[in-house]
Structure 1
Amino acid sequence: MAIKSRIRTIPDYPKKGIMFRDITTLLKDPVGFRLVIDQLSQHYIENGVDFDMIVGMEARGFIIGGALSYTLGKGFVPIRKPGKLPGEVVDQEYQLEYGTDKVEMHIDALEKGSRVLLVDDLLATGGTAMAGASLVEKVGGVIAEMAFIVNLPDIGGQKKLEEKGYKLFCLTEFEGE
């Protein structure tokens, strides 16, 4: 059974007109969760993408990024919502599909020049990923690639990120759905 078939769609959440792709149904399925981590790991092992650290976006990026970090033997750095990190931070505001938000990262989270795999569950507008990339770059890191479980190409995030020169890897997509 494919990853896509394990993802639930919730119409009109968090507001009318949004088709929310809920990966909690994928994560609660031990076979589905293993498929995600195995397929991501396989991609990075087989394609030799060079990176030093995995950075995960709050909150589902922590789940995927943490498991992937363990599997690939890499460290993990969280990007959090404001006020959740105890040390000195840098922040970045960004646009969501349905509003605005802000994220933070410890200023000393990465060594200068560290190559980073940025991980999140879903790519829609690209706002969250752009904010994460901006934080990584502010502290001296370099984005090697971005990984997502789900891509929503009709919303335009993939195009926006690729136009900025970022490499992406997505396990599945919901196009025109």
Structure 2
Amino acid sequence: MPEGHHDLWGLVRDGRHLQELVELLTSPLRESAPTKIVGIEARGFLLGGAVATHLGIGFVPVRKTGGYHPGQKFTIVSEPDWSGKRNSFELQENALCNFDRAALVDDWYTTGSQAMAAIELIRRTGARFVGASVVAEEGDPALAGIPGFHALLRWSPALSMFSRSPFAVHFKERHCSSRDSRTAFARSRDA
């Protein structure tokens, strides 16, 4: 796996682990009472949509420029990410209203550049940004400037490991062969 990329997909492959992860991401946001959850393409769509459903509120996508996103949009170019690349993001102008309280949900923040871009897009709509909940972060000082920021895990690049947080996220991924998958599918289909 290239440096700077970490595979968190194992957390969502198992329904029980996904439920636990969604609850852990939701928990720090409850007090801020968001009316909408915002997620950045792509894993932010999965996790943000799940958290929004868990809270019984709407989900708003922040798309990378060039994807299908009809209507008038606010656009912003982020500061450089972990690889030095600047990314362009879009948010539909009517996706949030001035009375909305928007919270950001995502998987991993290294520099916080994409989060800061999404927060600026939220603010351009007139909505109030009330917090962010992510699976993991690398402790960049810029993240401390995000109000209501919560990370389940904190990555220490110097130690190449996670330090503990108030949240306990444990999972053991079960690998299966294609035969195992066919057998499990056949059993579920026949049940």
TM-score, normalised with respect to structure 2: 0.76
2:155 is aligned to 174
Is it true that 1:162 corresponds to 2:144 in the alignment? yes
Distance 1:41 1:113 in 2: 21
Instruction: Give the SS at the match of 2:115.
Output: helix
One-letter code aligned to 1:71 = H
Q: CA deviation at 1:150?
A: 0.8
Q: CA deviation at 1:131?
A: 0.5
Mapped contact 2:62–2:118 kept (Cα < 8 A): yes
Q: CA deviation at 1:50?
A: 2.1
Of 127-136 and 109-118, deviating more is: 109-118
Distance 1:161 1:149 in 2: 14
Q: CA deviation at 1:30?
A: 2.3
Q: Determine which of 70, 77, 86 is the counterpart of 1:93.
A: 77
Matches within 5 A, 1:106-145: 106-145=92-131
2:177 is aligned to none
Distance 1:134 1:92 in 2: 8
One-letter code aligned to 1:119 = V
- Percent identical among aligned pairs is 28
Instruction: Give the SS at the match of 2:126.
Output: coil
Distance 2:47 2:147 in 1: 20
Is it true that 1:51 corresponds to 2:21 in the alignment? no
Distance 2:74 2:4 in 1: 32
One-letter code aligned to 2:5 = F
Runs of 4+ in 1 over 4 A off after TM superposition: none
TM-score, normalised with respect to structure 1: 0.82
Report the structure number with the largest CA radius of gyration: 2
2:52 is aligned to 69
Unaligned runs of 5+ in 2: 161-191
CA distance 1:122–1:142, change in 2 (3 Å): same
Q: CA deviation at 1:161?
A: 3.3
Unaligned runs of 5+ in 1: 1-9
Distance 2:143 2:137 in 1: 12
Deviations 1:78-119 (A, max 9, x none): 000113201111111012111111110001111114211111
**Structure richer in strand, relative to its length:** 1
2:164 is aligned to none
One-letter code aligned to 1:166 = P
